[in-house]
Amino acid sequence: MEEKTDWSRRTFLGMSALGVLGLAACGDEPAAPQVDVQVPKELLDQAAALRGGSVGMLSQKLYSESANQALDRSLQVFAQATGTTVRNDLVSGDAGDMVAKMDAEVKAGTSRDLAFVSDRRFVGQLHNLGALTDVTDVVEEMRKLYGEPATEANNYCVFDGRWYAIPYHFIAAGMYLRKDWYAEKGLPLKPHYTWEELRDNALEVSDPAKRRFGWGLTVNRSGDANGFITNVINCYGGAIADNTGTKVVFNSPETVAAVEFIGDIYTNPKYTPMLPPGIGSWTDSSNNENWLAQILGLTLNQFSVYADSKTKNNPVYANTHVFNGATGPAIDRPLAFGESNSFVVFKGAKNPELAKLVAKYMVSGSALLGVAKGAPCLVNPAWDKVWDSDPYYTSGDPAFPALREQTRTPLPLTTKTGYAFPQAPSPGEQAAVAAYLLTDMMQSVIQGTRPADAVASTHARIVQVFEQQGYKQ
């Protein structure tokens, strides 16, 4: 998922006399869908004692600019209705120093009050650093209102039975293939495939002369490549860490087999016709761009690319088959359970009560609806009853029923090798993946390193990262 690396601050003042403003679209981006954003009366009542206060917020920048505009508008309405000030900074989730920077600000007493970040990627690291406040009281209050959060959040947001993050919106895992290309070759559309099937089908539908390339997955440094490599390794029965998240178990026959499978795709001349030009240097935006250019037959992405094709009326939208993912030798169900962007309140927050109130406001109702419409199927309710709060979530897109089911996936999913996913939150694993150790490993294989040797050397690097996080091996 592409996220720009710039930081920008938006400030919304409760004392403003400007009223609720429409936020203009940038460039060719569609304008944010207009939603009548309201602050519920019960939150207005809770905010009465906080009038005149201010809160600093950090937002993980969303792929869709119209969704960012809608988020701004929701914050603006909140500030004006409650007589408070909200200062919001946007940051890329793929900025390599994001966790270190937030932690340094907490320790220096200069941090913002709250942020929303990927629970799967960042909450474990921030909790391990002692940067987060217990928000169990907020989650329990919200459970009474909205039912249960997405099942994945119970894994990524809870430590020792306490909640340290508040699920905000659910981001599903997804894969996409060209159903028209499959139909031409008589290939079936299924709810999931094996990784080997996807590779073989990608070759069959490819035709470089027609600018049709069946395989749209890179192993170059990017978040999408990290997700692809990790998923294949897990489906083959390997893992970075054991189920406790504390012991590195990467170097295994199963991991080697997975790396051999992936490496063969990019080194075997047989598969050259299905690889688009430049795939070896793709960044997170590249598969989005090439999918929207209608030259790819398969890609793995969060629903940003699907949202883009829908909001920009790209013909590829009608030719997209969405499915939950792939299986492998160690599991017959896709390891697809998504993640949530979740609110965290930092230790030492200057206005923690207002921070919690902003989080409670943003997770549901019209505050979320505008953001969800700005990024269709990318931003989804994280709470069960919010799915029933507006007809948009039940009939706004044919993908919604499958997305909602993904939030309810019974977890964990266990491989034949005994690894249960999602595993316990592992700051060591999060740090190792963020350091692109997996993509570096695959680049070395492409350059000629034996898969077994590449796995062994990467295992040693991962051990170093875990020990830096305090986990002796």
Helix axes 352-362, 365-374, angle to 10 degrees: 60
Per-residue pLDDT, 312: 87
Q: What burial letters (b/e) apply to 163-182, b meaning 16+ CB within 10 Å?
A: bbbbbbbbbbbbbbbbbebb
Are 102 and 72 contacting, i.e. CB atoms less than 8 angstroms apart? Answer: no
Per-residue pLDDT, 81: 97
Per-residue pLDDT, 321: 94
Mean of pLDDT over the chain:
91
Q: Residue 414 CB: number of other CB atoms within 10 A?
A: 14
The answer to whether residue 96 scores a pLDDT higher than 70 is no
Q: Residue 89 CB: number of other CB atoms within 10 A?
A: 16
Per-residue pLDDT, 9: 65
Per-residue pLDDT, 393: 96
pLDDT digit string (tens) for 129-146? 999 999 999 999 999 999
CA-wise closest residue to 150 among 310, 379, 362:
379
Tell me the pTM: 0.79
**Position 376, amino acid:** P
What is the pLDDT confidence band of residue 33, given thresholds at 50, 70 and 90? low
CA-wise closest residue to 14 among 44, 34, 59, 42:
44
What is the pLDDT confidence band of residue 302, given thresholds at 50, 70 and 90? confident
Mean pLDDT of the region 340-363: 97
Per-residue pLDDT, 301: 86
Per-residue pLDDT, 16: 37
Per-residue pLDDT, 25: 38
Mean pLDDT of the region 15-39: 54
- Whether the bond between 376 and the residue before it is cis, its omega within 30 degrees of 0, is no
Are 118 and 226 contacting, i.e. CB atoms less than 8 angstroms apart? Answer: no
Distances (CA, A) of 169 to 24, 219, 230, 381: 24, 28, 23, 5
What is the pLDDT confidence band of residue 18, given thresholds at 50, 70 and 90? very low
Distances (CA, A) of 296 to 141, 179, 284: 45, 11, 15
Are 119 and 152 contacting, i.e. CB atoms less than 8 angstroms apart? Answer: yes
The answer to whether residue 45 scores a pLDDT higher than 90 is yes
Per-residue pLDDT, 1: 39
The answer to whether residue 147 scores a pLDDT higher than 70 is yes
Mean pLDDT of the region 297-309: 89
Mean pLDDT of the region 335-361: 96
The answer to whether residue 30 scores a pLDDT higher than 70 is no
Angle at 432 between CA 170 and CA 264, to 5 degrees: 90
Which pair of structure tokens corresponds to residue 443? 């680049």
CA-wise closest residue to 360 among 92, 47, 72:
47
The percentage of the chain sitting over the pLDDT mark of 70, rounded to a whole number, equals 93
Max Cα separation, the chain?
68
What is the pLDDT confidence band of residue 95, given thresholds at 50, 70 and 90? low
The number of helix segments (H) and strand segments (E) in the chain equals: 19, 16
Angle at 228 between CA 264 and CA 467, to 5 degrees: 105
pLDDT digit string (tens) for 173-196? 789 999 999 999 999 999 999 999
Per-residue pLDDT, 2: 37
What ranges in 186-281 are assigned the alpha helix state H? 195-205, 223-235, 253-267
The answer to whether residue 63 scores a pLDDT higher than 80 is no
